[in-house]
Chains A and B, each alone.
Chain A
């Protein structure tokens, strides 16, 4: 039976939950801690930020970076013994953006009050390689991709080539994205790369996979982060400023029976869902954390979220368009994955953390967006060139 057109979904998470705690591990190389220890460090940090303790947590969220049996191993390690809800949604680096939406939905449904989300890992000192896809031969698509020497890098570069072909996007335009990120990162003492770079320096950096240069690529860092999402009832008891969840959307994108269109991301689906739920438009967004595994990821996502028309991303990011505090769309004011941090090759959680800082007015003064009322955080996990998760979150300053 075909269901046909269904009535509009009436449930909403708008206003149903608040970001009470957000914590980013300050280090980018962590040789003397285990991955579970880093999960614990960031959990403690985010709960302390909220004014809560491990004993208050009744819901736990983690993704593929969590070792062992995921939420079961980590709940035991962390000593979470009153969990009523767990979620191990794994859509790569976008997982943690989706987790906030899932936590808000669980809170809205009355399943829990205090949701803890953690991410941690050690690609620099722990042995797991860049990319961290963990893809193995039992994936049905494996034999039609991996034997050709593909990688995360080759697959993003495929998307860049096609976007350049269809819309005339240039390497210099992509470089503007890195320049903006580096301009922000100079103010972040914890950033992995703090030097401001120019368009010329990006273009002169080694080509790692045509058409992408080394400086089109994110950093590889040890690290982690955690978030605490709470019900309005809990938020009211806390002294901390707790930005509100306004909307969330998510969508996987895959090769679609081999007819993949490389010029757009899953944000064409997740974005409108989030904006509709939040009751805002792209023009209302004061600050945006845009997933930046590579510069092309940012360019396509900005178009897909509706900040400019498809194909106009190159012009939109030029001339300081992304630079805080006064650009067309101030983005990634922590320096993003391109310069600050891409903990265990998964940048979603740091996207939400910087959005919370902006809404609280706690970003670095040089990059704090004045009167930041509406912030967007977007995650892209996987590969633009094959399959990826896309998750969009819209938050409001209202406490």
Chain B
């Protein structure tokens, strides 16, 4: 399983809105786990987390732990932040394509999830870089899932 981290490094950790149908995802982040929904109807791994399958319209959802590894699908580097990120730039916004446990991924790619890349020089990042999850706790006790070089 991935590292839990007590520090957010340079980046702010804004509170997410924890909607009831995504609560298992957020509860798991508090324990340093990347827990994803999977549809019991069609087997697809669902992203973003929700209590509904956008592939087959089922409400029958189970949750499983992903390994927390993946690769960079794309990234950008804002030079000026807004709101909570006002003093955080430059930082890396990225899509990370997640690895899925054997047998859960089907034939297609894993979900591409929006995140930040941390603990790296922003200008050293490349598409395809291998990364692993780190968990940055918020004040209310959940965590943002970010990624660092694997």
Q: Mark A154-197, 1 if CB is under 8 A from B, else 0.
A: 11011111100100000000000000000000000000000000
A148 within 8 A of B: yes
Binds B, one of A14-22, A70-78, A204-212, A358-366: A204-212
* Of the residues A147, A161, A206, A257, contact of B144 by C-beta under 8 Å: A147
Tell whether, in the assembled complex, residue A149 and residue B49 are in contact, meaning their CB atoms are under 8 Å apart. Answer: no
Per the CB 8 Å criterion, the residue count for chain A at the interface is 39
- With A147-B144, A151-B78, A209-B79 already in contact, the answer to whether A162 and B48 are too (CB < 8 A) is no
A12 vs B12: C-alpha distance when bound (angstroms): 52
Tell whether, in the assembled complex, residue A257 and residue B76 are in contact, meaning their CB atoms are under 8 Å apart. Answer: no
Within 8 Å CB of B15, what residues of A?
147
Q: Mark A140-153, 1 if CB is under 8 A from B, else 0.
A: 11111111111101
B116 within 8 A of A: yes
- With A141-B48, A162-B73 already in contact, the answer to whether A149 and B95 are too (CB < 8 A) is no
A157 vs B79: C-alpha distance when bound (angstroms): 12
A260 within 8 A of B: yes
Tell whether, in the assembled complex, residue A144 and residue B76 are in contact, meaning their CB atoms are under 8 Å apart. Answer: no
B1 within 8 A of A: no
CB distance from B100 to the nearest CB of A (A): 11
Per the CB 8 Å criterion, the residue count for chain B at the interface is 49
- With A143-B18, A150-B93, A158-B74 already in contact, the answer to whether A259 and B109 are too (CB < 8 A) is yes
Tell whether, in the assembled complex, residue B114 and residue A257 are in contact, meaning their CB atoms are under 8 Å apart. Answer: no
* Of the residues A144, A147, A385, contact of B48 by C-beta under 8 Å: A144
- With A147-B144, A149-B93, A161-B76 already in contact, the answer to whether A138 and B17 are too (CB < 8 A) is yes
A7 within 8 A of B: no
A144 vs B83: C-alpha distance when bound (angstroms): 16
- Interface positions, chain B 31-83, Cβ under 8 Å from A, are 44, 46-50, 54-55, 73-83
A151 vs B139: C-alpha distance when bound (angstroms): 23
B84 within 8 A of A: yes
A258 vs B46: C-alpha distance when bound (angstroms): 7
A156 vs B123: C-alpha distance when bound (angstroms): 18
Tell whether, in the assembled complex, residue B78 and residue A259 are in contact, meaning their CB atoms are under 8 Å apart. Answer: no
Tell whether, in the assembled complex, residue B113 and residue A144 are in contact, meaning their CB atoms are under 8 Å apart. Answer: yes
Tell whether, in the assembled complex, residue A157 and residue B50 are in contact, meaning their CB atoms are under 8 Å apart. Answer: no
Within 8 Å CB of A203, what residues of B?
none
B88 within 8 A of A: yes
Tell whether, in the assembled complex, residue A209 and residue B76 are in contact, meaning their CB atoms are under 8 Å apart. Answer: yes
- Interface positions, chain A 361-399, Cβ under 8 Å from B, are 385-386
Within 8 Å CB of A137, what residues of B?
17
Within 8 Å CB of B28, what residues of A?
none
CB distance from A141 to the nearest CB of B (A): 5
Interface residue ranges, B against A (CB under 8 Å): 11-19, 22, 44, 46-50, 54-55, 73-85, 88, 91, 93-95, 108-109, 111-116, 122-123, 127, 144, 146
* 6 A-B pairs closest in CB distance: A258-B47, A258-B111, A157-B76, A143-B16, A149-B85, A210-B77
* Interface pairs (14), CB distance under 8 Å: A137-B17, A140-B50, A143-B16, A143-B18, A144-B47, A145-B114, A149-B81, A150-B93, A157-B76, A157-B77, A159-B74, A206-B79, A209-B78, A257-B55
